[in-house]
Amino acid sequence: MNILCCAACGLRLTEPVRRIDEMPEYPGWDGRPDAEGRRHGPASVPRGVYVVDPLPYGAPFEPCEDEDTYDGMVPGGMWMSDERGSLVSAGPCGTYVLHPLDVVDLGLHPDTSRLSGCCGLSPFDGVNRVCSCGAEVAIDASDCSGGYETRLVPDAVRVEPAP
């Protein structure tokens, strides 16, 4: 078991978690609110584990080179576009994907343009959670628009054996 800590101040950011090699199959989501009225759907990883995603994640986005072969923000991912055309993610690679409840309560990013989302936090505007030292450590997804997970940014955290 490991814990993930803030690389800047050393604060523990997660519960003890075990690394698994691949993203589990997504349990599926019907888009309807759950019993508590939350619309974000099931978490992408169960409690107690984390996955390292080798693909780039989230902002910034760049126009894709070839519209004809476009296959989402990452291959097989959600489609996104703006006035420049179809977009691909040029965000951080190797993010640590965790169940949001395995991550300690992090502060909101002071830049409110990072905090879009209608019923939760959207993960598409860059890092939206900060450590208590101010370091930009996590991309939280809890809106109906983009899954339910917390991603720790590899440059901002370090992995340590759980005590």
Rule CB under 5 A: say whether 143 interacts with Zn ion. yes
- For 69, residues 6+ apart whose C-beta sits below 8 A from its C-beta are none
* Stretch near Zn ion under the rule CB under 5 A, chosen from 61-69, 105-113, 142-150, 152-160: 142-150
Question: Using CA atoms, how far apart are residues 100 and 104, in angstroms rounded to an integer?
Answer: 8
Question: Using CA atoms, how far apart are residues 141 and 103, in angstroms rounded to an integer?
Answer: 12
Rule CB under 5 A: say whether 135 interacts with Zn ion. yes
Give the number of residues in contact with Zn ion, rule: CB under 5 A.
Answer: 11
Rule CB under 5 A: say whether 131 interacts with Zn ion. yes
* Cβ–Cβ under 8 Å, residues 123 and 58: yes
Question: Using CA atoms, how far apart are residues 46 and 61, in angstroms rounded to an integer?
Answer: 28
Rule CB under 5 A: say whether 49 interacts with Zn ion. no
* Stretch near Zn ion under the rule CB under 5 A, chosen from 54-62, 64-72, 91-99, 127-135: 127-135
Other Cβ atoms within 10 Å of 62 Cβ, number: 11
* Stretch near Zn ion under the rule CB under 5 A, chosen from 17-25, 30-38, 61-69, 116-124: 116-124
- Binding positions for Zn ion, rule: CB under 5 A: 6, 8-9, 11, 118-119, 131, 133, 135, 143-144
